[in-house]
Amino acid sequence: MNSFKLAVLSAVLLAAPARAELIKFATLAPEGTDAAKIMQAIDAELRAKTSGQLGFKFYLGGRQGDEKDMVRKIRLGQLQAGGFTGVGLGEIAPEVRVMDAPWLFRNSDEVDHVLKTFDADFRKDFENKGFVLLGWTEIGFIYVFTNTPVKAPIDMQKLKIWMWEGDPIAESAFKALDVHPIPLSITDVNTSLQTKLIDSVYSAPLYAIALQWTDKTKYIYNVPMANASGAVLVSKKAFDALPKDQQKLLLDVGAKHLSKLNALTREENRKALESLKAHGMIMTDTTPEQLRSYEALGRKARRELVGRLYSAELLDRVEKSLAEYRAKSGAAKAPKAAAK
């Protein structure tokens, strides 16, 4: 009898949440990047405010595999959170990749406008797929780096341009341009630039430097193809298991720090472009007419992705909201090149 009681008692005690469980967080961003530092700052603040009851355990630099592996491990419960780029977001909630749609945004203010306007939609998209949004962490505007100058869309057809295999955004953009890219894994890009299998790549400026692609290219085309988004997501299952006060704290602290990260990334990309130019990289100019041609190209490319990533309804609403924003903010009638 007594030993039975004891067994029940110890079972109850063992089941009680006596010790804090850490949220296992993975990202491709390596140690020492701003993304890693900001997540560590979130962790420090959470631990301080919960006496160590809530915090993260970090797997940086792709130590848990690529983003598809990370998503799979979160679904299996081996991880509870991740910092994702479009690749991972596409695995989870393809609709939100409307943020990555080709030639959609002209500058970062427009990006912020859409994120704010569609915040509830995007959060619901993530939640339906079992994830909670902690904050957006964009990669930045995506430029084309080439070895011959590109001044007009037609010049792109002469390039041996890389395409990240399975990247629907680039695929639709290249299709609209009538460009035939060479699909390769991102890990093969450096060697393929060296062997001249490809002569052009696309990336946000800071990443192009970090990936050492800018040593192997000479020109930057002044018209970004898209703005690459990213986000920090937490498994809804893990989130729901937290006490209410910790849920709120996690959302608040996360949002506060991650909005700083976005501002930092934008500043770094701006500095990266300046530094590349200072070191002899040539940024090609485009005429206003050529820039305008991207309006039609963009519409065509974005339609390509309807049904594959997002619905026509969502795309229409986003484009309409942007048009209204441009009209209201008195944006220049002709589209402007380069994101500021």
Partner 1 sequence: MKRPALAALACALALSACSVKTVAVRATAAVVSDGTPALREEPDPLFARDALPGQLKLLEGLLRDAPKDPRLLSALSEGFVGYAFMFLEDEQPDRARDMYRRALGYALRLAALNGDLAAIAVARPDALDAALARARLQDVPGLYWAAYAWAGWANLAKGDPEALAGMSRAQSVMRRVLALDPGFQFGGPDIFFGIYYCALPKMAGGDPDKGKAHFEAALARSKGKFLMAKVLYARYYAVAALDEALFRRLNEEVLAASGEDLPQARLTNEVAKLKAKKLLEKTNELF
Cβ-based burial of 263 (10 A; exposed 0-12, middle 13-18, buried ≥19): exposed
- Assess 308 for contact with partner 1 (CB under 8 A): no
Cβ-Cβ contacts under 8 Å for 300 (sequence gap 6 or more): 176
Nearer of residues 212 and 329 to partner 1, judged by Cβ: 212
CA distances from 15 to 6, 8, 18, 64, 272 (A): 14, 11, 8, 29, 52
Nearer of residues 52 and 288 to partner 1, judged by Cβ: 52
User: Measured from the CB of residue 32, what is the shortest distance to partner 1 in angstroms?
Assistant: 5
CA distances from 144 to 160, 225, 313 (A): 12, 8, 30
User: Measured from the CB of residue 219, what is the shortest distance to partner 1 in angstroms?
Assistant: 13
The DSSP 8-state label assigned to residue 98 in this structure reads: G
Q: Which two tokens stand for residue 69?
A: 């592996």
- The radius of gyration of the chain's CA atoms, rounded to the nearest angstrom, is 22
Residues 138-177 as x/- pattern, contact with partner 1 by CB under 8 A = ----------------------------------------
Among 49, 57, 75, 160, binds partner 1 (CB under 8 A): 57
Nearer of residues 24 and 97 to partner 1, judged by Cβ: 24
- Assess 45 for contact with partner 1 (CB under 8 A): no
Cβ-Cβ contacts under 8 Å for 17 (sequence gap 6 or more): none
Q: Please tell me the count of residues contacting partner 1 according to CB under 8 A.
A: 32
User: Measured from the CB of residue 37, what is the shortest distance to partner 1 in angstroms?
Assistant: 9
Contacting partner 1 within 189-228 (CB under 8 A):
189-190, 205-206, 209-212, 214-216
User: Measured from the CB of residue 87, what is the shortest distance to partner 1 in angstroms?
Assistant: 11
- Cα gap 131→125, rounded to integer Å: 9
Among 25, 33, 74, 219, binds partner 1 (CB under 8 A): 33
The dihedral sign for the CA sequence 59, 141, 147, 272: negative
- Cα gap 151→226, rounded to integer Å: 17
Residues 66-95 as x/- pattern, contact with partner 1 by CB under 8 A = ------------------------------
The dihedral sign for the CA sequence 202, 203, 208, 212: negative
User: Contact positions toward partner 1, by CB under 8 A?
Assistant: 28, 30, 32-34, 57-58, 61-63, 186-187, 189-190, 205-206, 209-212, 214-216, 264, 268, 271-272, 274-276, 279-280
